[in-house]
């Protein structure tokens, strides 16, 4: 049975925390499917640990899952640079829940969002829960953390619409939609912040046909909105 050193074990466990992911430039992927996606992505795989090699106890100590998976990989974070405004892009304003962020990455991947921008107070994309919830989309869609109001203004300065999603917006099914622009999704509890709302050029809402629920989960709303944009 192959062993991993105490230093390796400590390093892998430390990657549960953002400060160590940032300082080491690494993140962890767990599960056969996800490790396979990592291998196919072309990213630098620093280390692969298999349960059959290190044993159940060691795997339990380094895994962040309630039921440790058979395999785990340590992956070097890719360098992500800003890109010029254009295409149909997604902007995330203070998305805090890792499950929501991971699901939104899957939705952006499915509907072919050209780019994902995020305010700097969004949950980090390499958080283990985000990585798992993304189901591999984290390897295909890059997230650019930026000054979101400034990014909205950049889109508008180039003639693109900035679509904000609000409870009191115009019915998305009645509004004309462009094939390019920036779609902003807001915080789970508070919606789009005032600084970003002030630079949106269009305000959209998904109408309720039932009337019971106060709002939709942000990841569900993101799927509905992008589906409607692509349907046009």
**What are 81-125's pLDDT values in tens digits?**
999 899 999 999 999 999 999 999 999 999 999 999 999 999 999
Kindly state whether residues 126 and 214 are assigned to the same domain.
yes
Residue 130 Ramachandran class (φ > 0 left, ψ -120 to 50 alpha, else beta): alpha
| Number of neighbours of residue 123 by Cβ within 10 angstroms | 20
Instruction: Measure the CA–CA gap between 34 and 139, rounded to whole angstroms.
Output: 9
| 29 within a domain of the structure (yes/no) | yes
CATH number at residue 178: 3.40.1280.10
User: Sheet of 71-76: strands edge to edge?
Assistant: 26-30, 71-76, 45-50
| 146 within a domain of the structure (yes/no) | yes
The string of pLDDT tens digits covering residues 30-70 is: 999 999 999 999 999 999 999 999 999 999 999 999 888 99
Does residue 21 carry a pLDDT above 80? yes
Give the domain extent around 12: 6-76
| 200 within a domain of the structure (yes/no) | yes
Closest CA to 107 of 230, 228, 219: 219
- DSSP string covering the chain: -----HHHHHHHHHTTSHHHHHHHTEEEEESHHHHHHHHHHT--EEEEEEHHHH-HHHHHHH--SSS--SEEEEEEPPP-----S-SEEEEESS---HHHHHHHHHHHHHTT-S-EEEETTSPPTTSHHHHHHHTTGGGT--EEEE-HHHHHHHHHHTT--EEEEEEEEEETTTS---SSEEEEE-BTTTBS-HHHHTT-SEEEE---SS--SS---HHHHHHHHHHHHHH-
Confidence (pTM): 0.94
Does residue 1 carry a pLDDT above 50? no
| 82 within a domain of the structure (yes/no) | no
pLDDT confidence of residue 3: 78
Confidence band, pLDDT 50/70/90 cuts, at residue 2: low
Separation in Å, CA 183 to CA 57, 95, 192, 195, 203: 45, 14, 11, 15, 10
Kindly state whether residues 119 and 61 are assigned to the same domain.
no
Last residue of a domain, one of 76, 100, 123: 76
| 95 within a domain of the structure (yes/no) | yes
φ/ψ of 207, rounded to 5, equals -70, 150
Kindly state whether residues 147 and 199 are assigned to the same domain.
yes
Does residue 187 carry a pLDDT above 50? yes
| 81 within a domain of the structure (yes/no) | no
How many structural domains is the chain composed of?
2
Kindly state whether residues 161 and 117 are assigned to the same domain.
yes
Kindly state whether residues 19 and 56 are assigned to the same domain.
yes
Kindly state whether residues 131 and 220 are assigned to the same domain.
yes
Kindly state whether residues 160 and 210 are assigned to the same domain.
yes
Kindly state whether residues 112 and 193 are assigned to the same domain.
yes
Kindly state whether residues 72 and 186 are assigned to the same domain.
no
Instruction: Measure the CA–CA gap between 124 and 96, rounded to whole angstroms.
Output: 9
Largest CA distance in the chain: 63
Kindly state whether residues 195 and 102 are assigned to the same domain.
yes
Kindly state whether residues 193 and 103 are assigned to the same domain.
yes
- Half-sphere exposure for 25 (CA within 13 Å, toward CB): 8
Kindly state whether residues 201 and 92 are assigned to the same domain.
yes
* pLDDT, the chain, mean: 95
Does residue 214 carry a pLDDT above 90? no
CATH number at residue 33: 3.30.1330.30
* Mean pLDDT of the region 135-143: 96
pLDDT confidence of residue 211: 73
């Amino acid at each position: 049975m192959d062993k991993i050193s105490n230093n390796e074990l400590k390093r892998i466990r430390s990657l549960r925390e953002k400060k160590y992911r940032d300082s080491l430039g690494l993140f962890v992927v767990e599960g056969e499917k996800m490790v396979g996606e990592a291998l196919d992505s072309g990213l630098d795989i620093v280390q692969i640990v298999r349960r059959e090699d290190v044993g159940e106890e060691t795997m339990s100590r380094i895994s962040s899952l309630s039921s440790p998976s058979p395999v785990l990989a340590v992956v070097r974070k890719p360098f992500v640079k800003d890109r010029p405004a254009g295409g149909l892009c997604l902007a995330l304003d203070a998305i805090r829940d890792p499950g929501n962020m991971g699901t939104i990455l899957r939705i952006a991947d499915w509907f072919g969002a050209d780019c994902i921008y995020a305010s700097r107070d969004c949950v980090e994309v390499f958080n283990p829960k985000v990585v798992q919830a993304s189901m591999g989309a984290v390897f295909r869609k890059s997230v650019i953390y930026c000054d979101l109001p400034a990014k909205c203004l950049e889109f508008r300065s180039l003639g693109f619409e900035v679509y904000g999603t609000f409870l009191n917006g115009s019915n998305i099914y009645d509004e004309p939609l462009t094939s390019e622009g920036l779609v902003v999704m807001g915080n789970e509890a508070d919606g789009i912040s005032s600084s970003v709302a002030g630079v949106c050029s269009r305000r959209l809402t998904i109408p309720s046909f039932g009337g019971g629920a106060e709002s939709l989960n942000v990841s569900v709303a993101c799927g509905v909105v992008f589906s409607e944009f692509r349907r046009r």
